[in-house]
Structure 1
């Protein structure tokens, strides 16, 4: 792990390998450790940079306004990287899209897995799925909230917990408890959003865009993957990753890594 100051905050990141640079952005229920199944394989061909977003993992959270996409661009500037490929999962995919729209010259390619986009509104179907699968949870009980979020996102709506590797569930809950603490702290800081948001700007993504999701992820997420791939001028919709929900890179590293190696410049 290395640390570097970016826009007034100290961000933690891993930096492995040599070659064309790739930045991996983690999900909001996780941290940079979720990419453990990709780093070594990608590093055989690329310089792989895996940060903790501000406030998450080992990165700091000063009480000053910021935007995650500005931090990504600031990290590239601090590392002397004029252009990189961005890979994002879930919330990390949202940040990747926002970065590509705000700083299009800095992004050579974009790979998105289970990614929402800024400005997207969840359907009533998704809200009902939360009620059916999780229900009411005390937000101050991080263990219970993490268990609920992992049931919703990592297990997914089409599977039962016993269908999923218990070690994956344990690790996801441990990461999510840490992420929940980060989100509480982030709620006290002014976090800037892309304006206008990405949802109606997908046609502006002029770089190659690979879009995928887990076959067991939420219907909203899979439909959104279809939309991104259809509206981005150079979008490609990869087949859904079988036997995986929202954290496909962690749950099924082999097909995700293979798809990334085939796609990345």
Structure 2
């Protein structure tokens, strides 16, 4: 693990391999450890930076206003890296898209798995699914909230917990408990957003884009992957990966690695 100071806060990241640079950006229910199945495989061909976003994992909580997408470029600046490919899952995908729109000259390619998009609004169907599967959860009870998140996102509405490897579920719960604490603390800090959210600007993305999702993910996520692929010029939409939920790179690393190694510049 390496540490670097950006805008008054110390951020943690892993730095492995040599070659063209790839930055891995984790989901909002996780931290950089969710990429444990990708780092070594990608580092055989690329320099891989797996970043804990500000407040998450081993990165410190911020005191000053900041933007996650600026932190991505701040890391590149600090390491004297001109351009990098960005790989994001869920919230990390939204950060990767925002970084591409805010700093288009710094990004060589985008790979998005189960990606969110800033400005996207969840459907009534997604809200109804949460209510039917989970119901009310005390947001201050991180154990209960993590259990709910993992049931909804990692298992997915079309599977049962028994369908997923128990060790993966426990690892996801542990990461999410830490992520929930981070999100609670981040609620007290000003986090800058794009002037115009990415959902209205996808056509502006000019780099190669790869889009994928797990077939067992929440339907909104699969539809959002379709929308990204349809609206970003030249984007490639992978087939949904069978028996995989929201943390697709963690659950099906071999499929993701094969796609990434074929795609990344």
TM above 0.5, yes or no, is yes
How far the C-alpha of 1:242 sits from its partner, in A, is: 1.5
Tell me the distance in 1 between the aligned counterparts of 2:25 and 2:88. 5
How far the C-alpha of 1:44 sits from its partner, in A, is: 0.2
2:74 match: 74
1:104 match: 104
Deviations for 1:21-69, whole angstroms, at most 9, x for unmatched residues?
0000000000000000001110000000001000001101232110100
The question of 1:49 aligning with 2:49 is answered yes
Deviations for 1:102-141, whole angstroms, at most 9, x for unmatched residues?
0000000000000010000000000000001111111111
2:193 match: 193
2:207 match: 207
Deviations for 1:204-236, whole angstroms, at most 9, x for unmatched residues?
110000001001011111011011011111211
Structure 2, unmatched stretches of 5+, are: none
Deviations for 1:242-262, whole angstroms, at most 9, x for unmatched residues?
110100000010001100001
Contact kept in structure 1, 2:62 and 2:186, CA below 8 Å: no
The question of 1:24 aligning with 2:29 is answered no
Secondary structure, aligned partner of 1:98? helix
Runs of 4+ off more than 4 Å: none
TM-score normalised by L of structure 2: 0.99
2:155 match: 155
Structure 1, unmatched stretches of 5+, are: none
2:172 match: 172
1:232 match: 232
Tell me the distance in 2 between the aligned counterparts of 1:181 and 1:256. 29
Contact kept in structure 2, 1:241 and 1:256, CA below 8 Å: no
Aligned length: 265
How far the C-alpha of 1:7 sits from its partner, in A, is: 2.3
Contact kept in structure 2, 1:120 and 1:199, CA below 8 Å: yes
Contact kept in structure 2, 1:53 and 1:68, CA below 8 Å: yes
Secondary structure, aligned partner of 2:87? strand
1:257 match: 257
Contact kept in structure 2, 1:110 and 1:210, CA below 8 Å: yes
Secondary structure, aligned partner of 2:3? strand
